[in-house]
Amino acid sequence: MTLNDLYTTLLDRKIHPKPGSYTNSLFDSGLPRIAQKVGEEGTEVVVAALSQDNARLVEEIADLTYHVLVLMAAKGLSPQDVLDELARRHK
């Protein structure tokens, strides 16, 4: 699976809600809750990096990545927008 695959799935859930979907529960709860989850997951990445093994760190980075992509979908941003910004900075 690529980030674009995951992002496409998230957009599909946003447009075609699926009952019981965690993703839809985030979209339904609104931007403040989504942003809060990004903050929580970011903190968990820091804790894992400093005090846990790499397997746990990977799990936390995956959680953070997922929630960041949900935030991006909620705000109408795409992974390409981020890649474009990184490319701009690299010049």
pTM of the predicted model, to two decimals?
A: 0.94
Q: What is the pLDDT along the chain (91 residues), one digit of tens a residue?
A: 899 999 999 999 999 999 999 999 999 999 999 999 999 999 999 999 999 999 999 999 999 999 999 999 999 999 999 999 999 999 8
DSSP 8-state symbol, 52: S
**What pLDDT was estimated at residue 67?**
98
Length of the chain: 91
**What pLDDT was estimated at residue 56?**
98
**What pLDDT was estimated at residue 91?**
81
- Range 14-23 contact pairs with CB under 8 angstroms and sequence separation of 24 or more: 14/73, 14/74, 23/70
Structural domains of the chain sorted by starting position, each given as residue range(s) with its CATH number in brackets: 3-90 (1.10.287.1080)
**What pLDDT was estimated at residue 68?**
98
